[in-house]
Structure 1
Amino acid sequence: MQEIVLAGGCFWCLDAAYRVVDGVQEVVSGYTGGRGAHPSYEQVCTGATGHAEAVKVVYDEERLPTDVVLDMFFTMHDPRQLNRQGNDVGTQYRSAMFYRDEAEKAVCEAAIARAADWWPGEIVTTLEPLGAWYDAEEYHQDFFAKNPTQGYCLAVAVPKVNKIRAGFASYLKG
Structure 2
Amino acid sequence: MSTETMMVGAGCFWGVQYRFDNIHGIEKTLVGYAGGDTESPNYDSVCRGDTNHAEVVWLEFDNNEISRRQLLELFFSMHNPTTLNRQGPDIGTQYRSVIFYANDEEKSLAEEVMKQAQANFSNPIVTTLEPMADFWAAEDYHQQYFQKRGIHGGCH
Fold conserved between structures, TM > 0.5: yes
Report % sequence identity.
38
Structure 1 counterpart of 2:29, one-letter code: V
1:52 is displaced (CA, Å) by 0.1
Where does residue 61 of structure 1 map in the other structure? Answer: 63
**SS where residue 145 of structure 1 aligns?**
helix
**Pairing 1:129–2:150 present:** no
Where does residue 106 of structure 1 map in the other structure? Answer: 108
Where does residue 122 of structure 2 map in the other structure? Answer: 120
Where does residue 170 of structure 1 map in the other structure? Answer: none
Moved over 4 A (4+): none
Where does residue 38 of structure 1 map in the other structure? Answer: 40
More helix by share: 1
Q: Under a length normalisation based on structure 1, what TM-score does the superposition of the two structures give?
A: 0.85
The CA distance in 2 between the partners of 1:40 and 1:98, in whole Å, is 20
Structure 2 counterpart of 1:5, one-letter code: M
Question: Unpaired segments of 5 or more residues in structure 2?
Answer: none
Which whole-Å deviations, capped at 9, do the CAs of 1:123-145 have from their partners, x for residues lacking one?
Answer: 00000111111011111111110
Equivalences for 1:18-37 in 2 at 5 Å?
A: 18-37=20-39
1:147 is displaced (CA, Å) by 1.6
**Pairing 1:140–2:142 present:** yes
Q: Under a length normalisation based on structure 2, what TM-score does the superposition of the two structures give?
A: 0.95
Structure 2 counterpart of 1:67, one-letter code: R
**SS where residue 112 of structure 1 aligns?**
helix
**Number of aligned residues:** 154
Where does residue 91 of structure 2 map in the other structure? Answer: 89
Which whole-Å deviations, capped at 9, do the CAs of 1:130-169 have from their partners, x for residues lacking one?
Answer: 11110111111111100234xxx75xx07x6xxxxxxxxx
Question: Unpaired segments of 5 or more residues in structure 1?
Answer: 161-174
